[in-house]
Every structure is written in structure tokens, then in C-alpha cells.
């Protein structure tokens, strides 16, 4: 038989459990986060003063550090003792699971409490998803700042973001969500920002949970011109608003029974639109000869009906449309009617300001997909928080999205996870990004086979899976997509990934010998036929024979007859060269090879003639290398070869004529050349990138230019750009080897430091040079300038970036006529290309794609500006506000 003490202990435990179960049931749907509470401490716990269950916030945010308020400060709620502060990143976001379409009251509290001992109070912004909500400014709020909003989420996920706006560090003490009835606090549009909520009483008690089951906070308010009246009886509060009993048990009336009842509130922001909710409950049992009846005037406008509050029954009057208050001063008046024997009565007031959230969140399916990808690969990037696409200034790194038109949810169109340390299989969640146009997973440690779902993603136009450890055959459906315009980059030969394909059956030795003999015989017959066919050609033809020699940088012969040129390119004599240039009358410029002259063929075709100087450091080998390369490359962004001359000591190359000269000339502004617009510069950069991309990926064997610079970017009459001067170019096979060893060559400033240090040449050497070229296009600074604090353009740009002002980096000749977003993207791309480590540089396909996105963004922003300009008064001119430009990311 149990002892009385044991029975009592069991009873106490049971009672405690019932109380806690009841409290937990009452708080169903509540989210109460004690921000900065270490998970190792008691979590969850019950807040002693309110009975609310609070948990650590560590599972809801990936960033931030833990702080504690100064212990010497007056005692406060336990949930305010710790805080989370965010010294890193611009936007840091909590992600909460909610129920789509449910009305929530969200409350954020920030208490500085001198947690860092610096006595510097923070100032920052709060965002709900992609939309600005409110500014937190704790300079004059020693006891902290609490902000509320009533909001209906459009999805099952809700982001609350702290955004750094100045030098101080954002902080947060607690974050709370409370579900509300969906038929309450309804707006025409937008959300409701809490402005005032108070009950009228002479008491000083603040009411919240458990008095208010929805945990609304009611502050007391009283004025000497009022008289306090109350009851001990409970009222019927079943009208939906569930106003607390303590609010309905107390009310005020004018101290002067004949006076008007008046309450005035001054708005923080005079232009705010306001919703009013007023709560009544008669607390006095009226006699037969008594009556209480009054009219309600809100900003001098009368509500539809006269009010006569019912005894011990809640009545709520609300405005159905928002109103603005003249001069930011709102006025509520209660005026007794002539039939009333008693003055007006009022229990409580709620005032809310409308917050219009215009920007739609990114499509929910895309958000779920990208977050699964993030989780799958452990991508804990500081910028990968909050909405992936909007606002545009917080766009996730290595992502791009469709137009951020506020009327449609943005869609993710570009995912670049190159060199991100990805491991394992290709994430299945990628297939849920149904609007994805470009996918780059190159240079990772991905394994397994290429999934078939990639072929079903019809919007995909580029897939880069190179430099991974994938196995198996490429799905046939994916190969078929290439005929529809898909660009696919993979490793391996014959569309089979390295070391993984089924070995073909071996032929018997005799069969193999027979096949080899037959193949050799067929080849010999073909060669004989070719020889006979060529013999029948006229011996006086000026056209040179087709190429049959593979390019080689080590061939020493200088006889041009040993270099095969196709039928469309001619061999000229030196006298013809002198005739076409009118005895070298008009020089166009000078390079390492020699002087370039203007020429005319057949009286109409303009050409550029490059003559080898006798003193040139470059010679026959470079001449031959350039001819060989230009014979086998055909691309709109590479200068084409018209012909050549090889007559004893006279060597000349004849090119198509580019009427606008080189890019360097136009950037310098010399000789009265016009300033290149930002969009034109982007297009020139795209043209140059496409030329390099062709050399790297379109040629077999692949080519490295080795001398990418602004003087080798030539412009035609329409300012289309073409890459020139291939005397230093080298070819090498792509396979297991991605580089060759060569004598280092190039132009100081543009030269890849890794190539210079190791002598190992690779396509990434061109990428570095292109990055320097892009910085030159962006800044119009000299690549090397000893008069600057940082002489090299890359170091100077990095130095300027630390100051966070892009206007000091962009070419001043542009006069701010550019989109800051496209400028930032181009600048980030240039710095990425010019990374000292070749492994961290993008390839030229990625570069070209990103530049196209920059240009698209620039054109889009310009068209929007023009639309806005056309809708405005013709007397008002558009100007660039440099204060609105983003700081360095």
C-alpha cells in the first residue's frame, strides 16, 4: 500500500501535467522563439510572467551570433535576456513553417541592452518575405522596440528578414506568431501594421496571454477628463474578436456627463491609411428610465448607425475601408443623442496602418526546389536566405530569375553551382525548376549517371556537367535535345563518360587485320583520286591548295607553300601588297608583328594589311601560327583572313577591314572618338567572349589566344567586336590533360599570374586576361598605372570595392547612365574571371551567358525608365540618384 506522501506526489505530478497540457493546447499554432537562446539551455521553457512556451531560434535561421543583455540592467522578460545579432551579410532571414491563407499576428521585439558593451544602438529594416515592413531604430528606445503585423502568408513558408542599412548591426530578441480567425482584421489589400491597441482604465496593468487567447497586447490608457466605471461580472465576448474579459469589465465615460467624448492620435507617418476597431460592452445595469445612446464620428465622418451598447455583451465597430487622417492627426468622437440620459461609453480601441506588399514572392515550387537543392548539397551561403529572387538587390548569388514584374511570381531561370564542392548524385529537385534555362554544375565531385529528367526540362538551353566524376552513357533523349538548340558540356569521348561505358566486343585477330588492311586500301584510293583531281586544276590558279597539315607550333619551315590555305583565300605577291596599300600610304596602327596598313582590293574591298617588321620580335613562326589558326577557324567574332604574302623577306597577312579600329582607341577618347554607352560596352564584351568561347570549345584541337587585350578587340562600322592577332595562339587537345607547357607569352597586366608562375597554359589563362579586359571596359582605367595607389587594375578595383561605392569604379564618362544591377553583375563577373586561382574562374561559356544576362537586365531597366519617363510630365527630366546605388556585396 502506498504512503500518503507518495499518493500526494502522484497527484501533484498529474495536476502539473494537466495544467501544462492545457496550456500547450491553448497555444496551438503559436510560434514563440527566444532569439539567441543556445539549444543546449532549457528549450522549450515556460516564460514565468506569461505562461508562454518559448524555444530556441537555432533551427529557424542559419546565420547570426548569440549575445546577452547587460546583467546590470533592470529585470526583463526571460525571452529578452538573450538576443541574436548579425555582423555578417546584408540580409539575414528566419524561415518559418506556416499555413497558407491563415491570418497571423507576427510580433518582433528587439532589445539592445548594451549586449556588446559599445553603447551603440542599432538601426535596421525588417522585411516580410521580399517586402519592406518597418524600420527598427533603438536610439531612443532603451526598453526595446516591439512591432506587430497582421499578415496572411501566400505559401506554407514565411521569411522574416533583418536587413542592414548602415554601420550598425541588426539584432532580434524574440519572434512570435499567433494564428487569428480568418474573418477578422480583413483589409481591401495589403497587411495591417500594429499602431495602437489599448483598453480604457485607470489600472496600469498590461494585458496579454493568457488574458487574451490570441496573445494580443493591450496597454492601459486613461485621461483625467474621463471617469472609470467597471463590473466584476463576465461579459459575452463571442462576437469573434474574443476581446479579453478584463477589457470588457472596465470602461470610461466623460467626467462631465454633458461633454463630448474625444480621443486624438497622431500618426508616425501622416500619409498612412488607417483601419479603426472600437470595442463596447455596457458595464452598468441601467434602470428603466436610463439609456445610453451615441453617434460615432471618425475623422469628422459619421458611422452608419447609432450605438447603444448591450449589457455585458461585446460589440465591435470597425471601419470597412481605410482612411487617411488630415495632417496625420486621427480623431474619434462619441456624441450622445438627444434620447440618451447617460454619456457615451468606450472599452477599447485598436488602430492599424495599412502596409502594401506589392512584390509577389518567387513561385512556391521554385522556392521549395532551390531550398531542397541547398539542403541536399549543404550550401550554407550567407546570401542564400530569404526569397531567392526578390527584391532584386538581394538576389541569391549564382542565380538569376525571370522578370520581377510585381504582378507575377518570379521564376528561377539560371542556376550556377560551378566549383561549389558538390558531392553525390545530381539532385532530383532540379527537375522542379521548370523555367530553368541554364544549369551549370561543372567542376564539382558529382557521381552517378546523368539523370534522364534533364531531357524533359524543355526550357533548358545550356547544361554544363564537365569536370565531374559522372559515369555511364548520356541519355539518348538528352542528345536529341541538342538538335533543338540545347548546348551540352560533358567529359569523355563519343558521348560516353570516362571509364564507365561497356567495352565493345573485340574482333578476332584475323578479322581485325582484314578490316585494317581494307581501311588502308580505301584511304589510299581516296588519296589517289584527290591527287588526280588536283592535277586537273589549272596551274595558273591563284588559290592555294586545301589544308592537309595539322597545326603545330614547332614547325620551323617558313615557306608559305607548305601552309595550306583554302580556296577562298588568296596568295598575294609583294607588288600586289604595295599596290593595294598605295605604297603603304595609310598606316592604321602597330603591333608586335609590325605595322598595319589600310588597303583596297579590286577597287572596292577594304582590307587591313599587316606587314612583318624586320625588327619585330615576332617572326616566321608567329606568322605561320596565325595563318594556320585563321585557316581553320570561322566565327563571326573572329577577324577573318582574306589572304597572305610570303615572298622572300616579305611577309604579310591581309584581313577584313574593321572601320572603327580597336577598343582601346574608343575607351581612351582620343582623336574625338565618341564615348561608348554602357549597353554598347556590354555587347562588345559579349562579342569578344563568344569569340574566345569558340576558340576554347568550337575548335578541335582547342585554341588558347594568349594575348587578349583591348587593342586586339576590333570594331566594325556597327561596333560589333571581333578578336584579332593570333600570333601567340596555341592549340592543345582536351582530354585527361587540360593544359600544356609553353614559353610564357602575353602582355604585362593581362598575363595570367598562375600561367606566368608555372608556364602551364590552359583556357583559364584567356579567362583571366578577359577579366582584366572587362575591368578595362567597366572602369576605363589603365591596366597598369604606377601613379595609382594600386598600380594593377585588379588590385585597384578590389581596393575601391572595399569602399562600397560603384560610382567610383565605373567610367566617369558614362555619367551614371547605367543600371546599377547590370553594372554590379558585370563587375562581379570581371573579378571572378581575374581570380588568381584558375580553379575559381568560370569558363568562357559561363562568361558569355552571364554577360548576355547583364545586357538583358540593362535593356529591361532602360525600357522601364523610359516607360516611367513617358508617363511623367515632359518638364521633369530623369536623373541618376547615386545615393540609391547598392553597397559592395
Question: Residues within the annotated binding site for ATP?
Answer: 610
In whole angstroms, give the CA distance from residue 150 to residue 132: 14
Cα 32 to chain center, whole Å?
30
In whole angstroms, give the CA distance from residue 325 to residue 267: 8
The three-class DSSP label of residue 210 is: coil
- Find out whether 868 and 467 touch, Cβ atoms under 8 Å: no
Torsion of the alpha carbons at 540, 546, 547 and 548, rounded to the nearest 10: -100
Q: 140: which residues sit within 8 A by CB, 6+ positions away? A: none
Find, among 65, 10, 14, 8, the residue nearest to 36 by Cα: 65
- Find out whether 380 and 178 touch, Cβ atoms under 8 Å: no
Catalytic choice (272, 366, 662, 707): 707
How many Cβ atoms are within 10 Å of 616's Cβ, its own excluded? 17
- How many Å is the Cα radius of gyration of the chain? 38
**632 burial via Cβ count (<10 Å: 0-12, 13-18, 19+):** middle
Binding-site sequence positions:
610
405 a catalytic residue: no
H-assigned helices in 45-202: none
Q: 752: which residues sit within 8 A by CB, 6+ positions away? A: 746, 764, 765, 768, 769, 838
- Find out whether 387 and 366 touch, Cβ atoms under 8 Å: no
In whole angstroms, give the CA distance from residue 281 to residue 286: 13
**254 burial via Cβ count (<10 Å: 0-12, 13-18, 19+):** buried
In whole angstroms, give the CA distance from residue 484 to residue 671: 47
- Find out whether 418 and 393 touch, Cβ atoms under 8 Å: no
User: With helix as H, strand as E and coil as C, how does 259-321 read?
Assistant: CCEEEEEECCCCCCEEEEEEEECECCCCCCCCCECEEEEECCEECCCCECCCECECEEEECCC
In whole angstroms, give the CA distance from residue 713 to residue 711: 6
Angle at 715 between CA 709 and CA 717, to 5 degrees: 175
Task: Please give the helix or strand (H or E) that residue 865 lies within, else none.
Answer: helix 844-871
User: With helix as H, strand as E and coil as C, how does 737-760 read?
Assistant: CCCEECCCCCCCCCCCHHHHHHCE
In whole angstroms, give the CA distance from residue 313 to residue 283: 9
**Cell reading at 555:** 614547325
721 has which bridge partners?
715
In whole angstroms, give the CA distance from residue 76 to residue 8: 35
In whole angstroms, give the CA distance from residue 552 to residue 247: 92
Angle at 37 between CA 30 and CA 396, to 5 degrees: 80
**Cell reading at 104:** 497571423
In whole angstroms, give the CA distance from residue 491 to residue 572: 43
**200 burial via Cβ count (<10 Å: 0-12, 13-18, 19+):** buried
- Find out whether 195 and 143 touch, Cβ atoms under 8 Å: no
436 has which bridge partners?
none
Find, among 886, 797, 786, 791, the residue nearest to 833 by Cα: 797
Q: 287: which residues sit within 8 A by CB, 6+ positions away? A: none
Torsion of the alpha carbons at 116, 122, 127 and 130, rounded to the nearest 10: -90
Pairing of strands 91-97, 157-164: antiparallel
Active-site positions read 707
Amino acid at each position: 500500500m502506498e504512503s500518503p506522501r507518495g499518493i500526494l506526489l502522484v497527484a501533484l505530478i498529474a495536476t502539473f501535467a494537466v495544467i501544462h497540457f492545457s496550456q500547450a493546447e491553448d497555444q496551438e499554432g503559436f510560434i514563440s522563439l527566444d532569439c539567441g537562446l543556445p539549444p543546449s539551455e532549457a528549450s522549450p521553457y515556460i516564460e514565468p510572467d506569461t505562461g508562454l512556451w518559448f524555444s530556441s531560434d537555432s533551427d529557424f535561421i542559419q546565420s547570426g551570433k548569440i549575445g546577452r543583455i547587460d546583467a546590470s540592467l533592470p529585470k526583463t522578460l526571460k525571452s529578452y535576456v538573450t538576443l541574436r545579432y548579425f555582423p555578417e551579410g546584408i540580409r539575414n532571414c528566419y524561415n518559418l513553417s506556416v499555413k497558407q491563407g491563415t491570418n497571423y499576428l507576427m510580433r518582433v521585439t528587439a532589445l539592445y541592452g548594451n549586449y556588446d558593451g559599445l553603447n551603440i544602438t542599432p538601426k535596421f529594416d525588417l522585411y516580410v518575405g521580399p517586402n519592406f515592413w518597418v524600420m527598427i531604430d533603438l536610439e531612443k528606445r532603451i526598453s526595446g522596440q516591439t512591432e506587430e503585423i497582421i499578415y496572411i502568408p501566400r505559401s506554407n513558408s514565411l521569411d522574416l528578414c533583418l536587413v542592414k542599412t548602415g554601420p550598425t548591426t541588426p539584432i532580434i530578441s524574440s519572434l512570435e506568431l499567433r494564428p487569428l480567425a480568418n474573418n477578422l482584421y480583413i483589409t481591401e489589400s495589403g497587411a495591417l501594421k500594429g499602431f495602437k491597441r489599448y483598453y480604457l482604465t485607470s489600472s496600469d496593468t498590461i494585458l496579454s496571454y493568457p488574458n487574451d487567447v490570441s496573445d494580443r497586447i493591450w496597454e492601459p490608457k486613461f485621461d483625467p477628463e474621463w471617469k472609470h466605471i467597471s463590473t466584476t461580472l463576465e461579459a459575452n465576448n463571442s462576437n469573434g474578436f474574443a476581446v479579453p474579459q478584463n477589457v470588457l469589465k472596465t470602461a470610461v465615460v466623460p467626467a462631465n456627463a454633458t461633454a463630448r467624448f474625444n480621443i486624438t492620435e497622431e500618426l508616425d507617418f501622416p500619409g498612412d491609411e488607417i483601419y479603426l476597431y472600437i470595442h463596447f460592452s455596457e458595464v452598468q445595469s441601467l434602470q428603466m428610465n436610463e439609456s445610453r445612446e451615441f453617434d460615432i464620428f471618425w475623422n469628422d465622418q459619421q458611422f452608419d448607425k447609432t450605438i447603444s451598447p448591450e449589457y455585458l455583451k461585446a460589440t465591435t465597430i470597425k471601419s470597412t475601408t481605410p482612411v487617411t487622417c488630415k495632417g496625420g492627426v486621427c480623431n474619434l468622437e462619441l456624441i450622445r443623442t438627444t434620447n440618451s440620459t447617460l454619456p457615451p461609453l468606450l472599452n477599447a480601441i485598436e488602430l492599424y496602418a495599412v502596409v502594401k506588399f506589392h512584390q509577389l514572392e518567387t513561385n512556391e515550387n521554385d522556392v521549395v526546389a532551390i531550398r531542397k537543392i541547398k539542403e541536399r548539397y549543404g550550401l550554407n551561403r550567407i546570401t542564400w536566405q530569404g526569397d531567392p529572387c526578390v527584391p532584386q538587390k538581394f538576389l541569391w548569388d549564382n542565380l538569376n530569375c525571370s522578370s520581377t514584374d510585381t504582378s507575377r511570381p518570379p521564376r528561377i531561370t539560371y542556376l550556377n553551382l560551378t566549383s561549389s564542392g558538390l558531392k553525390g548524385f545530381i539532385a532530383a529537385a532540379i527537375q522542379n525548376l521548370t523555367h530553368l534555362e541554364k544549369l551549370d554544375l561543372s567542376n564539382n565531385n558529382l557521381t552517378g549517371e546523368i539523370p534522364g529528367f534533364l531531357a524533359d526540362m524543355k526550357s533548358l538551353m545550356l547544361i554544363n556537367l564537365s569536370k565531374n566524376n559522372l559515369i555511364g552513357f548520356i541519355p539518348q533523349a538528352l542528345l536529341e535535345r541538342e538538335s533543338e538548340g540545347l548546348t551540352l558540356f560533358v567529359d569523355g569521348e563519343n558521348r560516353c563518360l570516362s571509364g564507365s561505358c561497356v567495352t565493345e566486343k573485340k574482333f578476332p585477330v584475323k578479322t581485325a587485320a582484314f578490316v585494317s588492311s581494307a581501311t588502308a586500301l580505301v584511304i589510299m584510293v581516296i588519296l589517289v583520286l584527290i591527287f588526280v583531281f588536283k592535277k586537273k586544276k589549272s596551274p595558273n590558279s591563284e588559290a592555294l591548295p586545301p589544308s592537309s597539315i595539322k597545326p603545330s607550333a614547332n614547325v620551323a619551315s617558313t615557306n608559305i607553300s607548305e601552309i595550306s590555305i583554302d580556296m577562298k583565300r588568296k596568295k598575294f605577291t609583294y607588288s600586289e601588297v604595295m599596290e593595294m596599300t598605295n605604297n603603304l600610304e595609310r598606316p592604321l596602327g602597330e603591333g608586335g608583328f609590325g605595322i598595319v596598313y589600310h588597303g583596297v582590293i579590286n577597287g572596292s574591298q577594304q582590307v587591313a594589311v599587316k606587314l612583318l617588321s624586320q625588327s619585330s620580335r615576332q617572326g616566321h613562326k608567329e606568322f605561320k601560327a596565325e595563318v594556320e589558326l585563321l585557316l581553320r577557324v570561322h566565327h563571326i567574332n573572329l577577324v577573318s583572313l582574306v589572304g597572305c604574302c610570303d615572298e622572300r623577306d616579305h611577309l604579310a597577312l591581309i584581313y577584313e577591314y574593321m572601320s572603327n579600329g580597336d577598343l582601346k582607341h574608343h575607351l581612351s577618347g582620343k582623336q574625338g572618338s565618341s564615348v561608348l554607352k554602357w549597353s554598347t560596352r556590354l555587347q562588345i564584351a559579349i562579342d569578344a567572349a563568344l569569340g574566345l568561347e569558340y576558340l576554347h570549345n568550337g575548335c578541335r584541337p582547342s585554341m588558347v589566344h594568349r594575348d587578349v587585350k583591348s587593342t586586339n578587340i576590333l570594331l566594325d562600322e556597327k561596333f560589333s567586336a571581333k578578336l584579332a592577332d593570333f600570333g601567340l595562339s596555341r592549340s592543345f587537345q582536351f582530354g585527361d590533360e587540360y593544359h600544356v607547357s609553353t614559353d610564357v607569352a602575353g602582355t604585362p597586366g593581362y598575363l595570367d599570374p598562375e600561367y606566368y608562375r608555372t608556364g602551364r597554359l590552359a583556357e583559364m589563362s584567356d579567362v583571366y586576361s578577359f577579366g582584366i579586359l572587362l575591368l578595362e571596359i567597366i572602369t576605363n582605367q589603365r591596366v597598369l598605372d604606377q601613379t595609382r595607389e594600386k598600380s594593377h587594375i585588379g588590385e585597384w578595383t578590389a581596393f575601391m570595392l572595399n569602399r562600397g561605392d560603384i560610382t567610383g569604379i565605373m567610367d566617369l564618362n558614362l555619367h551614371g547612365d547605367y543600371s546599377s544591377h547590370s553594372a554590379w553583375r558585370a563587375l562581379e563577373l570581371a573579378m571572378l574571371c581575374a581570380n588568381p586561382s584558375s580553379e575559381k574562374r568560370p569558363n568562357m561559356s559561363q562568361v558569355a551567358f552571364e554577360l548576355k544576362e547583364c545586357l538583358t537586365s540593362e535593356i529591361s531597366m532602360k525600357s522601364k525608365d523610359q516607360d516611367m519617363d513617358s508617363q511623367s510630365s515632359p518638364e521633369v527630366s530623369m536623373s541618376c540618384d547615386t545615393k540609391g546605388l547598392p553597397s559592395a556585396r
